[in-house]
Amino acid sequence: MAQGVDRSISEIMSLVQSIIPYIKNGTSIKKACQTCKIPYTSILEYREKYDDVRILLEEAENYLDCIAESVIADKIINKRDVKVAQWWLERSQKEKYSVFDKVFSVKNDEDSKPMQINLVKYSTSNE
């Protein structure tokens, strides 16, 4: 067992549960272990050995991504936010809706500031 301590699965799950709130808030597993004074190597060993621990840690690590995706979906579905919808399409369907890598700077005259133009390519195919 990790660190020479023989723990039951319920004790292991209790240890893991103590770091979950930190991980859900974006803290790394290593930092969460340091905060809770739990040996990081123990958690790594438990994650490797027990599927329940691995799944719990994976869910916690993905929690903020899920929240962010639901916020984006809410803005698109309920608020009909066109800019968010375009942003989502550009990132989720790059082959169909992509931003060109080229950025052009244009100057009107010597006194004016450069104007940046970003070109966006939208597919016209029905794929």
Residues in Cβ contact with 109 at an 8 Å cutoff, skipping those fewer than 6 apart: none
Q: What is the pLDDT along the chain (127 residues), one digit of tens a residue?
A: 455 678 999 999 999 999 999 999 999 999 999 999 999 999 999 999 999 999 999 999 999 999 999 999 999 999 999 999 999 998 888 878 776 555 556 566 666 666 555 555 555 555 4
| pLDDT at residue number 94 | 81
Quote the CA–CA distance of 59 and 77 in Å, as a whole number.
25
Residue range 110-127, pLDDT digits in tens = 666 665 555 555 555 554
> What pLDDT was estimated at residue 115?
57
In this predicted model, what pLDDT tens digit does every residue of 63-72 receive, in sequence order?
Answer: 999 999 999 9
63: nearest Cα among 90, 94, 29: 29
